[in-house]
Structure 1
């Protein structure tokens, strides 16, 4: 039976303290070798359990086996030197020391496929798996080889497609590409960003999603949000092109954001993952607050196309807060589900 308003997370969940330092992005692993591999799998199972316990309908790995949503994927590729670092401006917001593309980028072996098989083995629920999108990948690197953002993005799109096809074969139901860069580089999004994303999903039969958010609740992002004024209309730039694309689901940030809800009208016909949980605060939403956000969204998206979700990943939050937020998401969706029946 197909469930109405299926809930899911946008991506990461907090890691257990024995695996990595909590409430921190890029937190180093506390173990190594076989012990680390086992610990990652244990964490993945706990993350799955937290989602099931909260009543989440479409589950994920909680990104327990990766340090970061972009760099962990890149670490497994040839052509990128992590020792050779340069400082670049990330998404026109903050400076970061990043690895350098020194030669042709290639994927020699699968990156997350074994993790996906492991998750598939432990649940009958639909699985969503997140990958970084091509434009966000190029925005976290210094390119000394291709010297063209577009060229590098197309190379990454091909690599992502190889990974996505294998994830689908491993039993993943929805493959999501994280593209926060779509909220910043509007000309590139329309010139080649959406096209590169379509290259990444070529040949896939499973559902595909693009997650475009305003970032984790870290200072650089919250400071940037303060400069955006009373209405955040960034989605207006990418949505018309995405509406015409082959992507099935568009994921956006709605809770406590200044995104005008009527922008969803621009992707009419697509499924919409509506972010109804704010990841930039420790305050746990009430079920009624979540329900109110979903009701607003239902003015612009049909009920059978609405997927309640979180605004972004929850890695920087405490596990207790994240669990509370998952339960609120589930409870809020249940309220609206009842109203629709």
Structure 2
């Protein structure tokens, strides 16, 4: 019998300090060449071990082999210049130095497939692998070639689809597309964002998910959240589109946020990764707090479709904090399982 309330992380976990300086995004590697390759594999082993110790049911790679959840995928594509960067405003919130699209986009070789194959040999638990979604990729670079966000998104969808199919063949059970941009550019989601995401999963037969959050716990995101008022209803704009899509599951930020739980009703029937861990604070949730978030969600999602999760990635947190938060997530899910007698 399949385990009910299987827990997972959204994606990133803190890297060991010997691999990259901790608690920051776009953290540079401390190793190079063969040492870097070996170090990344060691970090994958550690990440797997810590997830298992914390009782996590669906294992992720912790994004140990990538610097950033979007740009690491982009840097493996041809047609993108990483040397002569530009400053752009990401998600209409903060400035970042990003690569520039200078020619046709193409995927010359697999990006994460070898990493996925390696992780598959290390565990027989289900594996979830995160890829950036087309719209969020478009929003994380400067386009000097296509001159159209939509055209570029379709090109990204094509290469993402190639990668997703190979990840599936490598033994990945769930492929999750990260689309925080869905929470910001509602008109574009409706015009082409959802359509390009559907293109990215075309022909993919393992489970697929989309992760939509309010961002990492960095200052620019936290400041933005303060402007959103007493209720965060962004999901209301996009969940109906997801409900009508072929995506199997959706990941939502629920704990420590002002998202009304009843919005989950808009995706009734889909699997929902309910964010029950706040990644924007170092305070460790109690198992009971996690359970309380899950109980609130269970009013709007059937128990067999509820997947307890973190709100977002935890790369900017310390390893100890991330570890304790994962343990709380597992313990909170176990409280609910006992309430259901399972």
TM-score (normalised: structure 1)? 0.99
Which residue of structure 1 aligns with residue 336 of structure 2?
336
**Per-residue deviation, residues 202-247 of structure 1 (Å, max 9, x unmatched):** 0011000000010000000000000001100000011001000000
Aligned-pair CA distance for 1:107: 0.1
Cα RMSD for the two superposed structures: 0.5
Aligned pairs for 1:74-85 (under 5 A) are: 74-85=74-85
Q: Deviations over 1:100-157 (max 9, x none)?
A: 1000000000000000000000000000000000000000111010000000000000
> Aligned residue for 2:13?
13
Q: How does 1:248-263 map to 2 (within 5 A)?
A: 248-263=248-263
Alpha-carbon distance between aligned partners in 1 of 2:188 and 2:171, rounded to the nearest angstrom: 33
Q: CA deviation at 1:25?
A: 0.5
Partners of 1:128 and 1:174 in 2: how far apart?
5
Match of 1:69 in 2: 69
1:167-194: CA deviation from partner (whole Å, max 9, x where unpaired): 0000000000000000000000011101
The match for 2:110 is: 110
Number of residues of Structure 1 aligned to a counterpart in Structure 2: 341
Structure 2 partner of 1:297: 297
Secondary structure of 1:211's aligned partner = strand
> Aligned partners of 1:93 and 1:6: how far apart in 2?
33
Q: What is the rounded CA distance, in whole Å, between the counterparts of 2:128 and 2:275 in structure 1?
A: 15
Gaps of 5+ in 1: none
Q: SS at the partner of 1:317?
A: coil
Q: Give SS of 2:59's match.
A: coil
For 1:70 and 1:62, locate their aligned partners in 2 and report how far apart those are by CA, in whole Å. 14
Aligned to 2:319: 319
1:126-205 aligned within 5 A: 126-205=126-205
> Aligned-pair distance for 1:272?
0.2
Q: Counterparts of 1:221 and 1:247 in 2: how far apart (Å)?
A: 26
Structure 2 residue matching 1:35: 3-state secondary structure: helix
Deviation string 1:61-109 (CA, Å, 9 cap, x unpaired) is 1000000000000000000001122221111111112111000000000
CA distance in 1, matches of 2:96, 2:282: 26
> Aligned residue for 1:267?
267
C-alpha distance in 1 between matches for 2:323 and 2:140: 30
* Whole-angstrom CA distance in 2 between matches of 1:87 and 1:319: 30
Tell me, in whole angstroms, the C-alpha distance in 2 between the residues paired with 1:50 and 1:112: 21
Separation in structure 2 between the aligned mates of residue 308 and residue 317 of structure 1, nearest angstrom: 19
Runs of 4 or more off by more than 3 Å in structure 1?
none
| C-alpha separation in 2, matches of 1:288 and 1:23 | 27
Does residue 237 of the first structure (1) align with residue 237 of the second (2)? yes
CA distance in 1, matches of 2:62, 2:97: 26
Unaligned runs of 5+ in 2: none
Tell me how far apart the structure 2 counterparts of residues 143 and 205 of structure 1 sit (CA, whole Å): 32
Q: Distance in 1 between matches of 2:99 and 2:323?
A: 34
